[in-house]
Amino acid sequence: MRQWLGLVARLVTGGVWIYAGAVKLPDPYASVQAVRAYELLPASAAEAVGYLLPPLEIVVGLALVLGLLTRGAAAVSAVLFVVFIIGIASVWARGMEIDCGCFGGGGYDPDAQSSYPWEIARDAALLLASLYLVWLRRSRLALDDLLFRRTTSPTHEG
């Protein structure tokens, strides 16, 4: 049962990553602007993060959906969700009103304060799913099972 739950965690979390990256990929400058809106990084770092984040999200998502290098992809996913939770909590605490930019967009949003708790809850749930995948080791219908089969060790004669 745990491995089937792992499959669901992989597909949901991976699907979210693929979608988040895919909607930002066509307009990388908007992604840069969304990162800058948090006012947490120097301009050059915000630009690098803004350009690199969408492809990274897609790669992590594909790895999770396919079950390829699952534990590593889940660990990267968990780190990203921790960073996003901290970022959203930071703008909330500073009274800023910006769209999280999680699925495109970003910048000023007059209704953002009411969205922050839901965004943090969503990211916390996906963080837990990512941590579950790190802990689980194996899940159903994963390429990892084909590529990294456990074999019995041959008998060594001395």
The residues spanned by each domain of the chain are 2-146
Which tens digits make up the pLDDT trace of 19-33? Answer: 999 999 999 999 999
Confidence grade of residue 153 (pLDDT, cut at 50, 70, 90): low
Give the chain as a DSSP string: -HHHHHHHHHHHHHHHHHHHHHHHTT-HHHHHHHHHHT--S-HHHHHHHHHHHHHHHHHHHHHHHHTSSHHHHHHHHHHHHHHHHHHHHHHHHTT--EE--BTB--EE-TTHHHHHHHHHHHHHHHHHHHHHHHHH---TT-HHHHHS---PPPPPP-
pTM above 0.95, yes or no: no
Which tens digits make up the pLDDT trace of 92-149? Answer: 999 999 999 999 888 889 899 999 999 999 999 999 999 999 999 889 889 998 888 7
